[in-house]
Structure formats: C-alpha cells, structure tokens
Amino acid sequence: MTTRNAVQSKRRSGLRDPVEQLRRMFEIRYFEEEIVGLFSEGLVHGTTHTCQGQEALNVGLAVTLNSDDFVACTYRSHGFALALGLTPEAALGEIMGRTTGCIGGVGGSMHLSAPELGLLPTFAIVGAGLPIAAGAALAFQTRGEKRVAVAVFGDGAANIGAFHEALNLASVWKLPVIFLCDNNLYGEYSRIETTTSVVDIAQRASSYSMPSEIIDGMKVDEVIASLNRAIDRARSGGGPTLIEAKTYRYAGHSRADLATYRPEGELESWLPRDPILVRQNELVASGVLTLTQVEKISEEERAGIARVIEFTRNAPFPQPDAIFKNIWTG
C-alpha cells in the first residue's frame, strides 16, 4: 500500500511535465482499448464504460488539482483514476475483480476509489456526485481550508434533479466546488438534443448566477487553463463555477455497444481533434519531442499496459471473507 502510494504520488506530481501528460494519455487510451477485449474474453464481468477520446479532460483535471482536493467522477472514470495517479494495476485489478484492485476487487469497473489521491468512490448513479462534491466543499469552507472539490458529470446528467439542487446550493453557499460537465454528446444511446432543452449545458449556469465557461475538451492546455481559473476562484472564496467541456465518446456507451445509432461520419469528424494527436503535434512542432520519441513513448505505454494485463490475469480473486469487510464503519 505505502509503496503504491509512493508510486502514485510520483505519477501525480510528474504530470506537470507536458511529455508526461502525453505519456499518460497514451496509457489511458491503451488501457481502455484493452478493456474492451478483456470484456469480450469474459475477464471483465458485468459492464464497463470506457473514455477513449476524453483523455485531455482526464489529464487536465489531474494536473490542476492538489492531492487533498476531492474529485467526484462517474462510472466512466478509468481515465480520471489513472490520470490522478492510480496505478494501472490497481485500476485493472478492480475492473477484473482481483484482490489487487483499489478496493480489493469487490466493486468492479464502475467503482474505483483512491482517497489518497482525492478520488471519491466513483458514482454509478447519474448525478449523485454533484451534491456530494458540494458537501466536500462545504467541509472545506466550514473549516476555512483552501481545498476545492470537483464534480465531473456528463451531458445527460445535466437533466437530473441532483444537478439543479447541487448547483443552487453551491451558489447560495458560495462553495469551493467546480462542476465539470463532460459533454460527449451522448447519454447512453440518446443524442443530447433528444433529451436536453438547451444547446450548451453551460447556459444553465445563469439559473444559479454562476460563472461558466465552454471549452474544447480535446485540448489539454485549454482544460488546464479553464480549470485553473475556476479553482483559483474557488480557493479565493469566489464560489462555484460550471465548466462545459466539449468532448466526444469514441466508443459506445458501455461494454459491447457499437454505437450504431451515431450519424455516419460523426466519429471520423472528431478524429482530427484527437487529444493525443493534438498534444503530440504541439510537442513535436515546438521541438520538445521528435516523432520517433513520440513513437517510443507510445510503444512503452502499450507495452506497459500489456504487462499490467499479464500481471492482473494472474492476480488472485478475493475470498468469501472479502464480502463481509468494510460494511459497518468501525
């Protein structure tokens, strides 16, 4: 555990380096791509929700927060967990239900947790993370701490009551919380305009007299800059912010969903904006990396994930006693 903590804090702090950011995005991408295969193999039980294409948001959030800030994410959080520093072993172990998982393999893909990194148990109920993040911010405010909480949620979640109640409460109490909407255009199999009465989720901030921003969620630098503005506001007592990041969900909603409901060519139209591609081009253009070096990083990450999978295939399953632990708070 402590060694894992050491590795994790290094993974977290190292992320300030743009090259590490690129590396982490590769890690997340390959991790998610492999999950789909493991699911088909039957090694991932139940369901899983991957985030290919949204790596800039994952990494951007991790770069801007301190480890004692709190983050409430959703079932679609492998990428956020890895970005925040969780080891791929701890993430995959949980997803594959092994004792090496971050909660010992009794939670599964929707339930990652890493208190040491500020990651609250990820939320499987749409909207639930928003009031709870506001509550963490309430604790920080009440104790006069400069910490912040972030709630990450989807476009679809912006239609549920908890969204409305949480934003109003956060605004009335001026809580140090950031509401980060990951607008990937779909809630399950439904495109946003079929379920949502506004074009931009950010527009709803006016209902709470709350500052808001709309950003390109495919650009890690834009994510970082926007979050920094909101976090500074929150830390300095300026209250909550609603940020809408425009992203795209490359894969289907969950496990084997092929997303055949998407309009012809929609995915393709997003690929040129791929967050990894964008970041790597920037780094190459500015001479920080050569294409060969990028290739090398990519291959290293691909190989790393392969090793993690090998490791986890052989990791033990939890024993029956695991079911009876951590139910009643001692």
Partner 1 sequence: MAQVRFRQAIALALADEMRKDPAVMVFGEDVAHAEGPFKTSEGLLAEFGPLRVRDTPISEMAFTGAGVGAATAGMKPVIEIMFMEFMGVALDMVVTEAAKFHYLSGGQFKVPMVIRASVGAGGGFGLQHSQTLENWLVATPGLKVVVPSDIQSAYELTRAAIRDPGPVVVLEPRALYGDRGALEQKEDGFLEIGKARIMRGGSALTVVSMGQLVGKSLEALAGMDAEVIDLSTLVPWDQECVSQSLKKTGKLVIVQEAPISGGWGHEILSLMVSKHFADLKAPPFIISPPNTPVPYGKELEELYIPQPAYIKEQIAHYLLTSQVPTPWWIQRGLI
Ligand X SMILES: Cc1ncc(C[n+]2csc(CCOP(=O)(O)OP(=O)(O)O)c2C)c(N)n1
Minimum distance of a copy of itself from residue 206's CB (angstroms): 6
Q: Is position 159 an interface residue for partner 1 (rule: CB under 8 A)?
A: yes
The end-to-end CA distance of the chain, in Å, is: 20
For residue 70, what are its two tokens? 């709190």
Residue 237, interface with a copy of itself (CB under 8 A)? no
**Which residue, 125 or 291, is less far from ligand X as judged by CB?**
125
Owner of token pair 């993040």: 133
Q: In terms of CB distance, is 155 or 301 closer to ligand X?
A: 155
Binding-residue pattern over the window 195 to 224 for a copy of itself, x denoting contact by CB under 8 A? xxxx----xx-xxxxx--------------
CA–CA distance, 328 with 281 (Å, rounded to integer): 51
Q: Applying CB under 6 A, which residues contact ligand X?
A: 74, 76, 124-126, 153-157, 182, 184, 186-188, 249, 253
The residues in 262-281 that bind partner 1, with binding defined as CB under 8 A, are: none
Binding partner of residue 281 among a copy of itself, Mg ion, ligand X, none, CB cut-off 5 to 8 Å per kind: none
Site for partner 1 in 71-90 (CB under 8 A): 72
Question: Which listed option, partner 1, a copy of itself, Mg ion, none, makes contact with residue 87 (CB within 5 to 8 Å by class)?
Answer: none
| 261 binds, options Mg ion, ligand X, partner 1, none, Cβ within 5 to 8 A by partner type | partner 1
Q: Which is nearer to partner 1, 237 or 290 (CB)?
A: 237
Partner whose binding site includes residue 259, from a copy of itself, ligand X, Mg ion, none (CB under 5 to 8 Å by kind) = none
Query: In the range 148-177, which residues lie near Mg ion by CB under 5 A?
Result: 154-155
The answer to whether residue 125 forms part of the interface with a copy of itself (CB under 8 A) is no
43 binds, among ligand X, partner 1, a copy of itself, none (CB under 5 to 8 A by kind): none
Asked if 201 and 244 touch (Cβ cutoff 8 Å), the reply is: yes
C-alpha dihedral (5, 225, 109, 170), degrees to nearest 10 = 100
Given the complex with partner 1, which of 124 and 225 has the nearer CB atom? 124
106/160 with CB nearer a copy of itself = 160
For every residue of the chain, which 3-state class applies, written as one string? CHHHHHHHHHHHHHHHCHHHHHHHHHHHHHHHHHHHHHHHCCCCCCCCCCCCCCHHHHHHHHHHCCCCCEEECECCCHHHHHHHCCCHHHHHHHHCCCCCCCCCCCCCCCCCCEHHHCECCCECCCCCHHHHHHHHHHHHHHCCCCCCEEEEEECHHHHCHHHHHHHHHHHHCCCCEEEEEEECCEECCEEHHHCCCCCCHHHHHHHHCCCEEEEECCCHHHHHHHHHHHHHHHHCCCCCEEEEEECCCCCCCCCCCCCCCCCCCHHHHHHHHCHHHHHHHHHHHCCCCCHHHHHHHHHHHHHHHHHHHHHHHCCCCCCHHHHHCCCCCC
Answer for which of 4, 14, 33, 47 binds partner 1 (CB under 8 A) is 47
User: Please, which residue, 164 or 233, has the CB nearer to ligand X?
Assistant: 164
184 sits near Mg ion (criterion: CB under 5 A): yes
Name the binder of 18 from a copy of itself, Mg ion, partner 1, none, CB < 5-8 A by kind: none
> Residue 324 Cβ, how far from ligand X at the closest point, in Å?
26
> Greatest CA span in the chain, whole angstroms?
55
Summarize as ranges the residues that interact with a copy of itself (CB under 8 A): 159-165, 167-168, 171-172, 194-198, 203-204, 206-210
Summarize as ranges the residues that interact with Mg ion (CB under 5 A): 154-155, 184, 186-187
